[in-house]
Amino acid sequence: MSGHNKWASIKHKKAIVDAKRGKVFTKIIREITMGARLGGSDPATNPRLRTAIQAAKDANMPADNIDRAIKKGAGELEGVTYEELTYEGYGPQGVAILVQCLTDNKNRSSAEVRSIFTKQNGTMAGAGSVAWIFEKKGLIYIASDKTTEDKLMEIALSAGAEDLSQADGKFQVTTGPSDFMAVREAIEKAGIPVESAALSMVPKNEVQVNADSARGVLALIEALEDHDDVQNVYANADIPDEVLKELS
């Protein structure tokens, strides 16, 4: 087992908070629509759509909402056409920030994301400046009182998982993007409840920041995530434990 990734842990906690705030539905609907537009309306042959639909079910989204989003993406219903954009930049202490957007107005998104960086003491950077720091992974979380480490490791690794770690009362199973759904399904088939699961951009290295800078990074991330066009925000900050506790 390797060390638990702190940024993955904080994204997990923030995702729970966002879900409680009801902010997650709009983002999932956009992802379903984009997935259907790019890969077709059949989740059996469209991994991106299948993952988005599972995220919708995890968030208890009504089936009608899911169906409408799929039909809009497939062109069966009229809807907004979204474009995928990625912005890169830096936060306090040189923390790398990766921002993924789905927007119907590229110029608006670019100007407003840049403004958020400036107001929150960050700076935008050119394409490729920080993207290389991150790699796409599947992250699956299970409460550590729901199974044993040995049992989970056997099931997850047999299904194609890359790693297993434990921290803060949770197991984190890490997979490659293509094995994500298969590993999740194997875990659930074994009767182990999954607390949350998502594809994420995981930093290959982290920047250790002090408490004040960590709060600045989190303020920047929160401001970005509050923007309607922003789907996901990732950072390579090593957040101090005292700040992590504030989010618990």
- CATH architecture entry for 133-203: 2-Layer Sandwich (3.30)
Domain ranges in the chain with CATH number 1.10.10.200: 16-74
For the segment 201-240, what is each residue's pLDDT rounded down to a tens digit?
A: 999 999 999 988 988 999 999 999 989 999 999 999 988 7
pLDDT score of 8: 60
**Is the per-residue pLDDT at 9 higher than 50?**
yes
For the segment 133-162, what is each residue's pLDDT rounded down to a tens digit?
A: 999 999 999 999 999 999 999 999 999 999
Q: Which fold has domain 16-74?
A: Arc Repressor Mutant, subunit A (1.10.10)
Domain 83-131+205-237: top CATH class = alpha beta
- Whole-number Å distance between alpha carbons of 218 and 162: 28
**What angle, 0 to 180 degrees and rounded to 10, lies between the N-to-C axes of helices 63-74 and 24-39?**
40
Alpha-carbon distances of 96 from 50, 101, 138, 179, rounded to whole Å: 30, 17, 20, 27
Summarize the confidence of residues 31-41 as an average pLDDT.
94
Domain ranges in the chain with CATH number 3.30.70.980: 83-131+205-237, 133-203
Q: Return the percentage of the chain with pLDDT > 70, whole number.
A: 90
| pTM of the complete model | 0.86
Close Cβ partners of 77 (under 8 Å, ≥ 6 residues apart): 68, 71
Lowest mean pLDDT among 18-22, 91-95, 217-221: 18-22
**Is the per-residue pLDDT at 242 higher than 80?**
no
Would you tell me how many other CB atoms lie within 10 Å of the CB of residue 2? 10
Close Cβ partners of 212 (under 8 Å, ≥ 6 residues apart): 92
134-143 and 196-203 strand pairing: antiparallel
Alpha-carbon distances of 23 from 26, 117, 164, rounded to whole Å: 7, 21, 29
For the segment 94-142, what is each residue's pLDDT rounded down to a tens digit?
A: 999 999 999 999 999 999 999 999 999 999 999 999 999 999 999 999 9
For the segment 38-66, what is each residue's pLDDT rounded down to a tens digit?
A: 999 999 999 999 999 999 998 889 999 99
